[in-house]
């Protein structure tokens, strides 16, 4: 199979699973088999592109032009390679987990639930491989549409409210701001292709560049930059597997991935440095970073706390992009991977706790470590990675991001990173702490009571993954290096 075919299969292949899943409505086992086969195939397809990309190739395929000069086209570059690997790679554990969760929790409308997943993944692949901003935008919107039914899954009043905020924010920012930015870019430069070094240099002045960047950054609502972050906690009304894959991996990472793409390939790091167009973003991202961590501290609902933690961690990546330095961008790219593994584990654990012990709040978790030792241990490992302590993978990405602040001559931002990491400790570690060291309530049942195996295996896998990444950070950073002019090694 040629690389071009591989790309097309990766983007459109998952859609084939949708009618199959719908047809297998009557037989859940067959239906889930379709999901698992599709997820495995997708991961292998994406993986087969990796050697090419790391060898410096940029496999590409162009479909047709939607409007003159605006083609639907794909090109795989390192950043997109990484994002697609993460999204496709984590779909499989999520699929296994979802099977355990949905059955263990006796959810309704499971067919619709499983049918929406491949569409969302196809959209994520489209975003990852998009060769121009136009293609990216199309799949960005498709991702929002495909995930709306997942967020509104429970169809009750709370789900309706949450889904409404989710949809309104994401569609509102993307149509209201991002589309304007895209048309403006097209009008100014006559192209929307992602090119190394950017396309805007020489076409607009520095003031206009700052405004355009603002339209992009706030227009990419999926990156959850304040004040457009409310959708993330609202979307937590969704079933936990959705929160795990979509709101720790595919959707939010699609957001920060788009941020990195725009910064690197539309603006260009040199252009940003020359014009200082991204200076204001440093403050907005720092503010988001710190205040989201502070809000996380005050949240007692476990999923809400994780949601605010996600907002804060996304801001790390946006801040890395705003630095407009090689280290910042590579650190940001690396953090996409590290945080994805860490956060998905945390969400898996939250879901497992809900399924096995029916607990949703942090202060109900006292002594739970004795009933669910494996889950809570996984939670601890993932938390270490998210905080950025060795031997968690997050240590490397945070290290690179911090180094980026120095490279960009903004040492005070290092303090922001450090402060936030302390806050991370404060809101994450008490959770396993309560579970292991505080006595359980008197009426708690005794003995082991873990979630079903289908839930347990994925979360152990991703927890171990976030530790393993500590040792695998170097190849990933090397993969990313070509996208920046400044070379770095961890």
Partner 1 sequence: MIAANLPALQVVLPLIAAPLCLLLRREWAAWTLATAVSWMCLAIAVLLLDQALHVGPIRYFMGGWAPPWGIEYRIDALNGFVLLLLCAIAAVTLPYARRSVLEEIGRERAYLFYTVLLLCFTGLLGITATGDAFNLFVFLEISSLSSYILISMGRDRRALTASYQYLIMGTIGGTFVLIGVGYLYAATGTLNMLDLADRLAAISDSRTVRTGYAFILVGLSLKLALFPLHLWLPNAYTYAPSAVTVFLAATSTKVAVYAMLRFAFTVFDVSHAFGDIGLSRILLLLAAAGIVFASITAIVQSDVKRSFAYSSVAQVGYMILGIGLLNLPGLTGGIAHLFNHALAKGAIFMALGCIALRLRSVQLQDMAGIGWQMPWTMGALVIGGLSLIGVPLTAGFISKWYLLLGALEQEQWLLALLILGGSLLAVIYVWRVIEAAYLQPAPARQAPVQEAPLGMLVPTWLLALANLYFGVHTEVTVGVASQAARLLLGAAS
Q: Is 137 in the site for partner 1 (CB under 8 A)?
A: yes
Tokens of 67: 């409007």
CB of 145 vs partner 1, minimal distance in Å: 7
Q: Is 160 in the site for partner 1 (CB under 8 A)?
A: yes
Phi/psi for 319 (5° steps) reads -65, -40
**Minimum CB distance to partner 1 smaller for 183 or for 448:** 183
Q: Is 167 in the site for partner 1 (CB under 8 A)?
A: yes
Please name the residues in contact with 154: beta carbons below 8 A apart, sequence gap of 6 or more: 237, 239
Q: Is 433 in the site for partner 1 (CB under 8 A)?
A: no
Residues pairing with 62 in the sheet = 73
CA gap 141, 146 in Å, rounded: 9
**Minimum CB distance to partner 1 smaller for 138 or for 201:** 138
* Cis status, amide bond into 391, omega within 30 of 0: yes
Binding piece for partner 1, criterion CB under 8 A, among 160-168, 249-257, 363-371, 430-438: 160-168
**Minimum CB distance to partner 1 smaller for 161 or for 276:** 161
Q: Is 165 in the site for partner 1 (CB under 8 A)?
A: no
Number of residues that bind partner 1 (CB under 8 A): 28
Binding piece for partner 1, criterion CB under 8 A, among 35-43, 65-73, 306-314, 383-391: 65-73
Tokens of 481: 């290096």
**Minimum CB distance to partner 1 smaller for 142 or for 414:** 142
CA distance readout (Å), 444 to 377, 439, 449: 20, 10, 11
CB of 274 vs partner 1, minimal distance in Å: 24
CA gap 385, 152 in Å, rounded: 31
- Residue pair 73/424 in contact (Cβ under 8 Å)? The answer is no
Q: Is 186 in the site for partner 1 (CB under 8 A)?
A: yes
Quick one: 8 exposed, middle or buried, by C-beta within 10 A (0-12, 13-18, 19+)? middle
Please measure the distance between the N-terminal and C-terminal CA atoms of the chain and give it in whole angstroms: 35
CB of 138 vs partner 1, minimal distance in Å: 4
Q: Is 171 in the site for partner 1 (CB under 8 A)?
A: yes
Q: Is 163 in the site for partner 1 (CB under 8 A)?
A: yes
Residues at the contact surface with partner 1, assessed by CB under 8 A: 64, 66-68, 137-138, 141-142, 145, 149, 152, 155, 159-160, 163-164, 167-168, 171-172, 175-176, 179-180, 183-184, 186-187
């Amino acid at each position: 199979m040629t690389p071009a075919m591989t790309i097309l299969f990766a983007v459109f292949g998952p859609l084939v699973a949708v009618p199959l899943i719908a047809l297998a409505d009557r037989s859940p086992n067959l239906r889930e088999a379709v999901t698992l086969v599709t997820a495995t195939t997708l991961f292998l397809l994406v993986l087969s592109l990796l050697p090419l990309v790391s060898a410096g190739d940029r496999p590409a395929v162009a479909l047709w032009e939607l409007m003159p000069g605006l083609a639907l086209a794909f090109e795989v570059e390192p950043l997109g390679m990484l994002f697609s690997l993460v999204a496709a790679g984590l779909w499989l554990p999520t699929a296994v987990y979802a099977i355990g969760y949905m059955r263990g929790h006796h959810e309704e409308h499971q067919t619709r639930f499983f049918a929406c997943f491949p569409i969302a993944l196809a959209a994520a692949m489209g975003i990852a491989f998009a060769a121009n901003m136009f293609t990216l935008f199309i799949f960005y919107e498709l991702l929002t549409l495909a995930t709306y039914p997942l967020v509104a899954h429970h169809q009750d009043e709370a789900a309706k409210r949450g889904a409404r905020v989710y949809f309104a924010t994401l569609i509102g920012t993307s149509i209201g701001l991002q589309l304007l930015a895209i048309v403006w870019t097209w009008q100014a430069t006559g192209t929307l292709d992602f090119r190394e070094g950017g396309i805007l240099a020489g076409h607009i002045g520095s003031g206009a560049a700052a405004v355009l960047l603002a339209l992009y950054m706030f227009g990419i609502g999926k990156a959850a930059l304040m004040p457009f972050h409310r959708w993330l906690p609202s979307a937590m009304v969704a079933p936990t597997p959705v929160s795990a894959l979509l709101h720790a991996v595919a959707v939010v990472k699609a957001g920060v991935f788009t941020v990195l793409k725009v910064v690197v390939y539309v603006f260009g790091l040199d252009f940003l440095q020359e014009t200082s167009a991204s200076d204001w973003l440093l403050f907005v991202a720092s503010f988001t970073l710190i205040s989201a961590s502070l809000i996380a501290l005050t949240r007692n609902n476990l999923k809400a706390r994780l949601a605010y933690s996600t907002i804060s961690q996304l801001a790390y990546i946006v801040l890395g992009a705003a630095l407009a330095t090689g280290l910042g961008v590579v650190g940001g790219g690396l953090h996409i991977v590290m945080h994805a593994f860490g956060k998905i584990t945390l969400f898996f654990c939250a879901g497992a706790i809900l399924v096995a012990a029916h607990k949703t709040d942090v202060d109900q978790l006292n002594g739970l470590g004795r009933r669910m030792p494996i889950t809570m241990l996984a939670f601890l490992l993932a938390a270490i990675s998210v905080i950025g302590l060795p031997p968690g993978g997050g240590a490397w990405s945070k290290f690179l991001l911090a180094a980026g602040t120095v490279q960009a001559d903004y040492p005070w931002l290092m303090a922001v990173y450090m402060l936030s990491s302390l806050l991370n400790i404060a809101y994450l570690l008490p959770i396993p702490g309560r579970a292991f060291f505080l006595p359980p309530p008197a009426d708690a049942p005794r003995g082991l009571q873990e979630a079903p195996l289908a839930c347990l295996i994925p979360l152990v896998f991703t927890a171990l993954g976030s530790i393993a990444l500590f040792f695998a950070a170097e190849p990933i950073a090397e993969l990313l290096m070509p996208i920046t002019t400044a070379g770095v090694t961890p």
